[in-house]
Amino acid sequence: WLDSTLEEKETGKIVASMRHLNRFMKAGSPLYKDQ
């Protein structure tokens, strides 16, 4: 997980926040066969 926030420079007030998850599939997964 990666958390990010965007804050106003003068006040430090949080304007936006985001939580992001990167998921990498296993190469051996039957759902992602080579073509």
Note whether residue 21 is domain-resident: yes
Q: What pLDDT does 35 receive?
A: 54
- Cβ atoms within 10 Å, residue 34: 4
Tens of pLDDT, residues 5-34:
999 999 999 999 999 987 776 666 777 666
How many distinct structural domains can be found in the chain?
A: 1
Note whether residue 9 is domain-resident: yes
Q: Which helix (H) or strand (E) holds 2?
A: strand 2-7
Q: What pLDDT does 13 receive?
A: 97
Note whether residue 12 is domain-resident: yes
Domain of residue 19 covers 1-26
Note whether residue 18 is domain-resident: yes
Note whether residue 11 is domain-resident: yes
Q: What pLDDT does 25 receive?
A: 63
Note whether residue 15 is domain-resident: yes
